Amino acid sequence: MNKNCAIILAAGEGKRMDSNMPKVLCEVLFKPMLGWVIDACEHSNINDRCVVAGFQAEKVIDFVGDSAQIVLQNERRGTAHAVKCAKSFLEQHIDGNVFVCCGDSPFLCEKTIMAALDVHNKEKAAVTVITANIENPYGYGRIIRKNGRIVAIVEEKDAQDEEKNICEINSGAYWFCVKDLLEILDDIKPLNNQNEYYLTDAVKLFINNKKTASVYLSQNSLIAMGANDRLNLFKLNDVYRKILIEKFMKDGVEFLCLDGVIISPDVKIGKRTKILPGTILKGNTVIGEDCVIGPNSLIEDSIVGKGSIINSTQVYQSQIDNNVKIGPFCHIRPNSTICHSVKIGDFVEVKNSEIGAGTAISHLTYVGDSDVGKNVNFGCGVVTINYDGVNKHRCKIEDGAFIGCNTNLVAPVVIGKDAYTGAGSTITKNVPSYALGIERGKQCNVDGFSKKKLAGRKLKVKE
């Protein structure tokens, strides 16, 4: 397996997509199509990967990172030309096989890749073409067989009427014996109207040279689905959204209605959790068992523990422990930890803070850059003032503290264990444990003020 490698073709512009980025970086369920393909190769134990970049290559390079080598196809002249740009990469794997595929094929799967490799090895083939049967093959290259063996791949524009009725199509993914591929790569000529070098011509050359060309017919008819425009991209999203949701249902997750529900492919959801309409789960999010998520909640790259309720709330890059209740209309910003049994009510924002177990933040409160202990109570309208215009500072609120309504905590400040702050106070100094911190201006009452102000005004009453 270590001798095997992959070349992923990702140089195309995708003009019909009308995007400001390479086509392969357009997203299916919030994940770039190229990411789907790289993951499929990784899950197939293909650890040596090469991505051929071209249009806006710097964006592809940034996305790929260290997950693959990069070669550039500065002049895009077809799929065989792209593979030829990776010739030095192939030479490093001369004794192995190479999996070649397109970077905009998000439905390629480990099962298909590995099964095709098994056929490729058993038949000692120079090439194994991965194919699929689809109901509407228009636009795809047709697989021409004779006595069960592949003899040609005929493109749509070159196909005769009888050939156009063939439903077995070329998926655009192949396994090649690297040594055999290198021997014929320079023999591929641009003998077409587009003056491009086609990888499908390699199949013809192998057959002419009496090399074995085999076929693996995938049971996954979706593997050939790609996206050339926004309509195609929408269809990819819609198809796989339903596939993922059905998989979660089979695993014991409950959906009452699918309206507005979108779940990324790397999300994990525990059994008996209920997903309500309008819920969006993105990135590497993990939801525990017996939760209720939604309605109208967005959770990204976060962990939610068992038995938690997240109602009309957005959560980013944070951890929420067991039996937490949040919402509605809350915002949990990155680097926050919400410990078990916390209750966060409506219109609360938490940022870069730890909220201790059993704490209640009922409503209309901002907690930023703070370390909050256990069983703390926040009254309505509390604000941790963490920014002085230049630097951020932290507040520390110890176990059992009671923060009165409309308290401003000007960081850095410490509220001690079981301490209180008086409602309407602006606290700028530490409050010792068990003490009451109160800071208010002296109240003055001006007698007769309203009589003078309203003198001569007639009260109008609407009937």
Give the integer Cα–Cα distance in Å for 185 and 83.
Answer: 8
Residue at 232 is within a domain: no
In this structure, the answer to whether residues 255 and 140 fall within a common structural domain is: no
CATH code for position 320: 2.160.10.10
Give the model's pLDDT for residue 1: 45
In this structure, the answer to whether residues 70 and 177 fall within a common structural domain is: yes
Give the model's pLDDT for residue 20: 86
Give the integer Cα–Cα distance in Å for 99 and 108.
Answer: 12
Read off the pLDDT band of 208 (50, 70, 90): very high
What digits encode the pLDDT tens for the residues 426-451?
A: 999 999 999 999 999 888 998 988 88
Give the integer Cα–Cα distance in Å for 400 and 418.
Answer: 4
Mean pLDDT on 259-288:
98
Considering 331, 340, 363, 393, which one is annotated as catalytic? 363
Residue at 456 is within a domain: no
In this structure, the answer to whether residues 14 and 121 fall within a common structural domain is: yes
Read off the pLDDT band of 151 (50, 70, 90): very high
Query: Which range, of 15-19, 91-95, 256-260, 341-345, averages the lowest pLDDT?
Result: 15-19
Give the model's pLDDT for residue 157: 83
Give the model's pLDDT for residue 227: 85
Give the integer Cα–Cα distance in Å for 137 and 22.
Answer: 26
Read off the pLDDT band of 460 (50, 70, 90): low
Give the model's pLDDT for residue 462: 56
Q: Is 120 a catalytic residue?
A: no
Q: Could you give the percent of the chain with pLDDT greater than 70?
A: 98
In this structure, the answer to whether residues 339 and 430 fall within a common structural domain is: yes
Would you call 381 exposed, middle or buried from its count of C-beta atoms within 10 A (0-12, 13-18, 19+)?
middle
In this structure, the answer to whether residues 121 and 262 fall within a common structural domain is: no
Mean pLDDT on 176-196:
90
In this structure, the answer to whether residues 68 and 144 fall within a common structural domain is: yes
Q: How far is CA 270 from the centre of its chain?
A: 19
Residue at 76 is within a domain: yes
Residue at 310 is within a domain: yes
Give the model's pLDDT for residue 3: 84
If one counts every other C-beta atom within 10 angstroms of the C-beta of residue 444, the result is 5
**Total number of domains in the chain:** 2
Range of the domain at 426: 239-437
In this structure, the answer to whether residues 117 and 196 fall within a common structural domain is: yes
Give the integer Cα–Cα distance in Å for 194 and 149.
Answer: 29
Partnered with residue 132 across adjacent β-strands are 169
CA distances from 128 to 97, 108, 206 (A): 10, 15, 11
Residue at 455 is within a domain: no
Looking at the predicted structure, is the pLDDT value of residue 268 above 50? yes
Mean pLDDT on 168-174:
95
Q: Which residue has tokens 């870069």?
A: 352
In this structure, the answer to whether residues 257 and 202 fall within a common structural domain is: no
What digits encode the pLDDT tens for the residues 134-149?
A: 988 998 999 999 999 9
CATH code for position 129: 3.90.550.10
Mean pLDDT on 325-344:
98
Mean pLDDT on 357-367:
97
Q: Is residue 224 within 8 Å of residue 169, measured between CB atoms?
A: yes
The encoded tokens of residue 31 equal 């994940």
**What are the phi and psi torsion angles at 272 (to 5°)?**
70, 5
Read off the pLDDT band of 124 (50, 70, 90): very high
Last residue of a domain, one of 217, 252, 286: 217
Partnered with residue 287 across adjacent β-strands are 269, 304
In this structure, the answer to whether residues 252 and 198 fall within a common structural domain is: no
Give the integer Cα–Cα distance in Å for 301 and 56.
Answer: 27
Give the model's pLDDT for residue 191: 78
Residue at 230 is within a domain: no
Give the model's pLDDT for residue 384: 98
Mean pLDDT on 221-234:
89
In this structure, the answer to whether residues 305 and 205 fall within a common structural domain is: no
Give the model's pLDDT for residue 16: 85
Mean pLDDT on 22-50:
96
Give the integer Cα–Cα distance in Å for 316 and 336.
Answer: 9
Mean pLDDT on 456-460:
63
Q: Is residue 4 within 8 Å of residue 98, measured between CB atoms?
A: yes
In this structure, the answer to whether residues 90 and 213 fall within a common structural domain is: yes
Mean pLDDT on 48-65:
96
Residues 6+ positions from 338 with CB-CB distance below 8 Å: 318, 319, 320, 321, 324, 326, 332, 344, 350, 355
Please give, one letter per residue, the 3-state secondary structure of the chain: CCCCEEEEEECCCCHHHCCCCCHHHCEECCEEHHHHHHHHHHHCCCCEEEEEECCCHHHHHHHHCCCCEEEECCCCCCHHHHHHHCHHHHHCCCCCEEEEEECCCCCCCHHHHHHHHHHHHHCCCCEEEEEEECCCCCCCCEEEEECCEEEEEECHHHCCHHHHCCCEEEEEEEEEEHHHHHHHHHHCCCCCCCCCCCCHHHHHHHHHCCCCEEEEECCCCCCCCCCCCHHHHHHHHHHHHHHHHHHHHHCCCEECCCCCCEECCCCEECCCCEECCCCEEECCCEECCCCEECCCCEEECCEECCCCEECCEEEECCEECCCCEECCCEEECCCCEECCCCEECCCEEEECCEECCCCEECCCEEEECEEECCCCEECCCCEEECECCCCECCEEECCCCEECCCCEEECCEEECCCCEECCCCEECCCECCCCEECCCCCCCCCCCHHHHHCCCCCCCCCC
In this structure, the answer to whether residues 56 and 125 fall within a common structural domain is: yes
383: left (phi over 0), alpha (psi -120 to 50) or beta: beta
What digits encode the pLDDT tens for the residues 349-358?
A: 999 999 999 9
Residue type, 144: I
